[in-house]
């Protein structure tokens, strides 16, 4: 699967998970791990965007796990994933 397809799936999953309660959203986020793993021979700009999306998703997961507000974190994660998608596409 191409990076652009992975990024599109991540964006879609993040938007769906954002609407769910934390106990449902956390497993959805965990399911994204395979999609946000890096691949060899990617241009640096795409790899940095993918990495930023991964880190933003981790921040959302940590906040949900700790019962902290995640509204702004969702927006950051979605923005990072959309940036990755735009660069990879």
Model pLDDT, residue 69: 93
For residues 65-79, give the mean pLDDT: 96
Model pLDDT, residue 40: 66
Model pLDDT, residue 70: 94
Name the token pair of 78. 């979605």
Q: What is the DSSP letter of 37?
A: S
Query: Phi then psi for 22, rounded to 5 degrees?
Result: -50, -40
Q: Is the pTM of this model over 0.75?
A: yes
Looking at the predicted structure, is the pLDDT value of residue 80 above 90?
A: yes
- pLDDT tens digits along 19-70: 999 999 999 999 998 888 877 678 999 999 999 999 999 999 999 999 999 9
């Amino acid at each position: 699967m191409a990076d652009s397809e992975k990024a599109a799936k991540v964006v879609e999953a993040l938007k769906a998970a954002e609407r769910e309660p934390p106990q449902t959203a956390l497993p959805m986020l965990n399911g994204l791990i395979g999609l946000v793993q890096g691949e060899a021979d990617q241009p640096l700009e795409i790899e940095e965007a993918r990495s930023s999306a991964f880190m933003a998703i981790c921040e959302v997961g940590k906040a949900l796990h700790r019962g902290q507000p995640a509204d702004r974190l969702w927006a950051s994660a979605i923005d990072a994933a959309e940036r990755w998608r735009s660069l990879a596409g």
